[in-house]
Chains A and B, each alone.
Chain A
Amino acid sequence: MKNSLAYVDIIKLGKKYSEQFSLKEVSFSVEKGETLTLMGPSGSGKTSVLRNIAGLDIPDAGSVIISGKNITKMPVRKRNVGIIFQDLALFPHMTVYDNISYGLRVKGFKRGEIEHRVYELAKMLGIHNLLERYPGEISGGEKQRVALARSVAPAPLLLLLDEPLSSLDTHLRNRVRSDIKEFAHRIGLTMIYVTHDHSEGLFMADKASLIFNGRVKAPELPETLFNNPKDVETCRFFGYNVIHIAGETVAFHPLDISIDDEEPDFFGAVTSKGFEGEHTRVHLKIANTGESVELKFNRGMGSENIRVGDLLSIKILRKHYL
């Protein structure tokens, strides 16, 4: 434990919530100033991991170590670990200024210092004109920034984000996640970011990990994790097709295909087709195994001629043997 070089060390964390669900020996580490994203489907235990790190739930086993200090049993308010919830939980009875300054006030900072910090943060996040308003009077994107400012104002050792962008529309979500990432790098924030959206998770990550049924897989670079999936559940989470060819389990990404009548890997009948702008999505039923697969044809691949009921010969450009 003492030999650990990581800034945040989560060691064999375990917590039984019910007969059906528990966190099982969750271990990972995060370096200072890094963002680790934890991705997984609904009910996989993402939020539970954050709650145990924040101290909102007390683990049955394992340790939470931040900056060399074991905080596993430390009361929540003394941990200096910030958290942003899915619904942001901005205090509706306080102005934006009071929300952001709350953590500093309760920690006994001097008034001048509080004002300085709040204005500095608000300016960095572009919300300095909203300080007198109440949360009910600002937009969704502005609320995200206020929540971020409130959480980072007391300079937390670690910031936990629990699907903070889920209430935003796609366009705004993309913009805000970019802002958060840029802001976090600028101030050297250490974050654990939880989401079920793999594109968001990969975008935010310096390192990324997956969680399924209370078990966390070892973090990797986001590119490595996505491009080299090692098991069926990872493949399925990232949207890969998993099929059986000649007795082997093969995964492939819906985009990694071509129509090839000469050396196809499989044949299948088209069951549905739809144009989605960037690409055309086609569902296919494989002739000999009956397995269903999803394919994506980029523009210019001739997908406009495909009709429901057609028999296609498909070649997999990049196979992952599992």
Chain B
Amino acid sequence: MDGRMGTGNAVKIRGATIRYTLLSFTPSIFILIVIVAPFIDLALSFGSLNFYKIMTGSSPIAMLSRRALYNSLIQGGVSAVFSLLLGYPLGVFLGRNNFRFKKLIVSLVILPFFLPSLVVVYAFMSGFGQGSPASILFSGFTMLSRGFVGIIAVNTFFNAPLVALYTMSSLSTEKSSQIEAVMSLGASDVGGFFTVFGKDTLLAALGGATLAFAYSFAGFAAPLIIGGPGAYTLDAWIYFMFRILGNFHASVSLAIFEAISLIVPTIIYVRILSTQRREGSVESRINTAPSRRSVLFLSAFAYMVAWLIIEAYLLSSVVLRALRANSTFSATNFLILFSNRTTSATGISALGSILNSLFYGFVVSIVVVAAGMAWIAGRKMLHKRYLGTAEVFHFIPLVISSLLMAFAILIVYGINTPQQFLWILIVSAQIAVAIPVVMRTIDAGFSPISREFLESSLTLGGHPFLDVEIPLAKVSFYISLMFGFAISLGEFTATNFLATPKFFSLPVEIYSLQLSRLFGPSFAAATVLLFLSLLVFVLIQRMGEKFIGVR
């Protein structure tokens, strides 16, 4: 009898463990189904073990593929170095000093990273392009709006805030007594800082720079719009080969090549991440910051001000360009944007694309947060703080870029998907893109909750997850909803690959307007996207700035 009861209990426990494990694997299973399986299917069905031969030989495809690889490496490498050089001092300055309006300034400094990549490209086109105030001042500035230099500038502007954020977060206040100790022993400001924080901050900055490399290596919007064929990255070249040249097999080979190439930076990033204890300490302040009258402080302050001025100039130039029509300022471009002319040029009205974007954002945020909740709930039921390798799945979107993801989804699932359900594929791709960020946001809400809180609740007869964890971490859910929305709103690469005009999102509409040479309305649409993104960013900031660090 006892034995049978024991067996019954064991079966029950095993069944519950399986259920909770499946629950906790929800995001991983999603990534497996939406990204990994289609990509492997694509690779096995249409690729071959000789995929690397796409890079060899003297055919035009091989030559241009080598060129694209070279571009990816150079653009990734140079952008990462510049992001590190520009972002690190910003991060150190903001992390070490406390001053009035610091929260606002930190928010403004990191803003570019939260903007849709397309908006940043448009900012450089309008800010430094022909006829821009900067180009009138010095014609050499036009280089920043096109070609290789323009791409590097866009990538750096986009990623340097990420490096700054990582650096800032690594400046732990716990070490403030150490820096006081080294300075009391006679170390200089800079020497003392590097003795105590050098390793932590540089490692964190390198983590940011590694991401900057991965993002720029698989850059798409900038090479496509301001680079031209000579500056195409692997992503842009795959898109071009598939969409324009119709060379399917070469596209698949190159996709495999790109995914394998991105494994190394992803491993480096995950390794660095695992050594960092980041708590988004935007408010961290080291009391032994250099004197405000020192050359060091004043130089760093001037540098930060310059960064903010450039940022303000670039973003306002998008708005000003949208308001400029026939050398005068008016709302003409906005009127055209919302007229039938836009609809006949792109196949969808501007309002339609905005509504699509809002719909995608809504669905993506709900689904991705639900997946996150399932992950956390399952993990809690299994009494585990981390699931180890299962959570590595969350980083797969860094290896398989948005474009490769969309490519695989389209080939594997797209064929059998009725046109009216195409939005499901778009939303799925956007969810996959959002998963790494949203999971880390949710995790950042739960991780700091002390085990003693949960055990107290348990000994008092309560339900720790519902009574303690959910209320304490609920802000992370709200923030995740908005992150999911923001990522969906700005996602361009995968949506552009998958969408037909009926399903265009606002970024795809912007690009289509540009292709139709409706530049004014295109900038007007970019302005709408800019303001929508700013609205979401402000909401995230107001709700919980510590979560900003997790993207």
Contacts and interface: CB of A to CB of B under 8 A. Distances in A.
Interface in A69-101: 76-83, 85-89, 91-93
A51 to B, nearest CB: 8
Contacts of B461: 77-78, 80, 103, 106-107, 154
Contact of A79 (B455, B459, B471): B459
B472 A87 contact: no
Given A56-B455, A56-B459, A77-B461, A102 B472 contact: no
B468 A91 contact: yes
A54 B463 contact: no
A150 interface: yes
A106 B467 CA distance: 9
Given A102-B467, A106-B467, A91 B453 contact: yes
A220 B516 CA distance: 91
A154 B471 CA distance: 22
Contacts of B467: 91, 102, 106
Contacts of B455: 54, 56, 76, 83, 85, 89
Interface in B433-459: 450, 452-453, 455-459
A308 to B, nearest CB: 29
A82 B456 CA distance: 8
Contact of A76 (B453, B459, B472): B459
Contacts of A89: 450, 452-453, 455-456
B460 interface: yes
A89 B456 CA distance: 7
Contacts of A78: 461
B511 to A, nearest CB: 45
Contacts of B450: 87, 89
A69 B453 CA distance: 27
Given A56-B455, A89-B450, A106-B467, A82 B460 contact: yes
A91 B462 CA distance: 12
Given A89-B450, A91-B453, A83 B459 contact: yes
Nearest to A81: B459
A151 to B, nearest CB: 8
Given A102-B462, A103-B461, A106-B463, A93 B456 contact: no
A58 B459 CA distance: 14
Contact of B459 (A82, A91, A92, A93): A82
**What DSSP secondary structure best describes chain B's contact surface?**
helix
Interface string A152-168: 00100000000000000
Contacts of A91: 453, 456-457, 467-468, 472
Interface residues of B, number: 16
B241 to A, nearest CB: 54
Residue of B450, B456, B457, B458 with most partner-chain A CB within 10 A: B456
A301 B460 CA distance: 53
A109 to B, nearest CB: 11
Contact of A150 (B452, B460, B463): B460
Nearest to B458: A76
A107 B468 CA distance: 16
Given A77-B461, A77-B462, A103-B462, A83 B472 contact: no
B26 to A, nearest CB: 26
Nearest to B462: A106
Interface in B448-489: 450, 452-453, 455-463, 467-468, 471-472
B452 A93 contact: no
A102 B452 contact: no
A54 B456 CA distance: 10
Contacts of A103: 460-462
Contacts of A92: 472
B276 to A, nearest CB: 25
Interface in B191-233: none
Residue of B452, B457, B467 with most partner-chain A CB within 10 A: B452
Contacts of A81: 459
Q: Would you list the 10 A-B pairs with minimal beta carbon distance, nearest first?
A: A89-B452, A103-B460, A106-B462, A85-B452, A89-B456, A77-B461, A76-B458, A93-B471, A106-B461, A83-B459
14 contacts: A56-B455, A56-B458, A56-B459, A76-B459, A77-B461, A78-B461, A85-B452, A92-B472, A93-B471, A93-B472, A103-B461, A103-B462, A106-B463, A107-B461
Given A54-B455, A92-B472, A151-B460, 6 more contacts: A76-B459, A79-B459, A83-B455, A85-B456, A89-B453, A102-B457
